[in-house]
Amino acid sequence: MIMRHVKWGLTVGLLMLALGFLGSGMTALAKRTDQTVTFGQLTAKNPKRLAAIRQAARQQVLKQAKVKGASKIEAVYQVKLPTHMTKKATLTVAGLQMNLLANRFKVKRITIPYSRLKGKVVNRYLPKANRTKRVKTTKMVALTFDDGPDPKLTPRLLKTLKKYHVHATFFEVGQSVARYPKISRAVLAGGNELGNHSWNHPNFNQIGTAKTVSQVNRTNRAIYQATGTLPQYVRPPYGNITATEGRAIEQPVVRWSVDSRDWAYLNSRKDINEVMKDTHGGDIVLMHDIHPQSVAAVPTIIKRLKAKGYKLVTVSQLLNDHALPGLQYFGAHDYRTTGK
């Protein structure tokens, strides 16, 4: 009996000691993470990084306000978000905590998960799991598809991507998203990315900044209503966008470095030859999922690129999550100010 009491006492003592260490560890963690920082510190005083934080904040406002429809999407762009580097936020266990001024959503405080800030905030302020690391893009290629969703061809393309264990990025037209929301959801469900390609494909350079912003926001609204998430990227129709428009929409612009010219050829063999002739590591390939010839060419393109040792990835993977508003991206290491 004495030995049992001794063992029990030792067990309890060790347990209490362990809990003590755990408690002190948790306290230390809390002290390390509940840290007040300025946006200047978080962004290394880079205004484009701050714009990326605002972009992530809008998504979080909608999530915390539990906005399900599209009626309040326009209002999220009216929420006052930080524009000055001296403003402060708090690093917490759950994410970056920001206080908000009075707004239509009646949300006083948001906490943006660190996963949404990867590549946008200076690495040292992020948990290790959410920090970016250097990636070798010499054997990476991003396939992108414009102008969908198409009710027949996009599902066929999604089956091909799934078959070959490949993910791609789709830049969709808002009016088609509104017509076929189920397909847009299927794009994301397959592990692919979904971007904004305007509402009805006008040339932004010919319609002016106000109408360009309306085109982008209207499509963002349609994509949010269909999927419950705002798209990160915009691809302007014909690749045309001014610097003023780029600043106004506050989303990274994704262009391309390889044009398959599938829209001109409407010939699967020519599509395949064009892509294989021009594609190298780090490239963003432009195709369309509204032409049957283009969709028919994809299996061969995938197999031939893989045979050359290329890994086919999303735009975010190719850019290592570093895409920022105000910049346009042509490839893994080719980016410029939007409109230049």
The reply to whether 175 and 90 lie within a common domain is: no
State how far the Cα of 164 lies from the Cα of 160, in Å rounded to an integer.
6
The reply to whether 157 and 232 lie within a common domain is: yes
Catalytic residue, candidates 288, 289, 291, 321: 288
Q: Is 165 a catalytic residue?
A: no
For 99-119, b where at least 16 C-beta lie within 10 A, e where not — what string? ebeebebebeebbbebebbbb
Tokens of 301: 């393109």
State how far the Cα of 310 lies from the Cα of 305, in Å rounded to an integer.
6
Residue that the structure tokens 């506050």 belong to: 250
Q: Would residue 16 count as lying in a domain?
A: no
Q: Would residue 2 count as lying in a domain?
A: no
State how far the Cα of 160 lies from the Cα of 179, in Å rounded to an integer.
23
Strand ranges (E), the chain: 35-38, 88-91, 96-99, 109-112, 140-146, 169-172, 193-196, 253-254, 258-259, 284-288, 311-313, 327-331, 334-337
Boundaries of domain holding 179: 140-337
- pLDDT by residue (tens digit) across 292-314? 999 999 999 999 999 999 999 99
Based on its alpha-carbon atoms, the radius of gyration of the chain, rounded to whole angstroms, reads 24
Q: Which band of pLDDT confidence, cut at 50, 70 and 90, is reported for residue 32? A: low
**H, E, C per residue of 58-122:** HHHHHHHCCCCCCCCHHHHCCCCCCCCCCCEEEECCCCEEEECCCCCCCCCEEEECHHHHCCCCC
Tokens of 338: 């939007």
The count of other CB atoms within 10 Å of the CB of residue 208 is 13
4 has pLDDT over 90: no
What is the SS3 assignment for 147?
coil
What residues have CB less than 8 Å from 222, skipping those under 6 apart?
70, 174, 175, 177, 178, 181, 199
Q: Which of 130, 165, 188 marks a domain boundary? A: 130
pLDDT of residue 195: 98
The reply to whether 200 and 74 lie within a common domain is: no
12 has pLDDT over 60: no
Decide: 143 and 315 in contact? Cβ < 8 Å: no
Tokens of 68: 């399900």
The reply to whether 228 and 312 lie within a common domain is: yes
Q: Would residue 68 count as lying in a domain?
A: yes
pTM: predicted TM-score of the whole model, two decimal places? 0.90
- Region 169-189: mean pLDDT is 98
15 has pLDDT over 90: no
Catalytic residue, candidates 146, 147, 150, 283: 146
pLDDT of residue 6: 39
Q: Which band of pLDDT confidence, cut at 50, 70 and 90, is reported for residue 315? A: very high
pLDDT of residue 1: 45
What residues have CB less than 8 Å from 264, skipping those under 6 apart?
none
Q: At what angle do helices 181-189 and 153-163 cross, to 10 degrees?
A: 10
Q: Which of 130, 148, 175 marks a domain boundary? A: 130
State how far the Cα of 137 lies from the Cα of 311, in Å rounded to an integer.
9
State how far the Cα of 291 lies from the Cα of 152, in Å rounded to an integer.
10
In the chain, % of residues over pLDDT 90: 87
Q: Would residue 119 count as lying in a domain?
A: yes
203 has pLDDT over 90: yes
pLDDT of residue 33: 57
The reply to whether 333 and 195 lie within a common domain is: yes
Decide: 59 and 230 in contact? Cβ < 8 Å: yes
Q: Is 146 a catalytic residue?
A: yes
Q: Would residue 24 count as lying in a domain?
A: no
The reply to whether 194 and 284 lie within a common domain is: yes
Q: Which band of pLDDT confidence, cut at 50, 70 and 90, is reported for residue 340? A: confident
Q: Would residue 10 count as lying in a domain?
A: no
Q: Which of 5-9, 62-66, 270-274, 325-329 has the lowest mean pLDDT?
A: 5-9
253 has pLDDT over 60: yes
Q: Which of 91, 108, 130 marks a domain boundary? A: 130
The reply to whether 95 and 208 lie within a common domain is: no
The reply to whether 40 and 172 lie within a common domain is: no
pLDDT of residue 173: 98
The reply to whether 180 and 269 lie within a common domain is: yes
State how far the Cα of 234 lies from the Cα of 237, in Å rounded to an integer.
9
State how far the Cα of 43 lies from the Cα of 87, in Å rounded to an integer.
12
Q: Which band of pLDDT confidence, cut at 50, 70 and 90, is reported for residue 128? A: very high
88 has pLDDT over 70: yes
Q: Which band of pLDDT confidence, cut at 50, 70 and 90, is reported for residue 9? A: very low
Decide: 145 and 289 in contact? Cβ < 8 Å: yes
The reply to whether 59 and 146 lie within a common domain is: no
Strands 327-331 and 253-254: parallel
The count of structural domains within the chain is 2
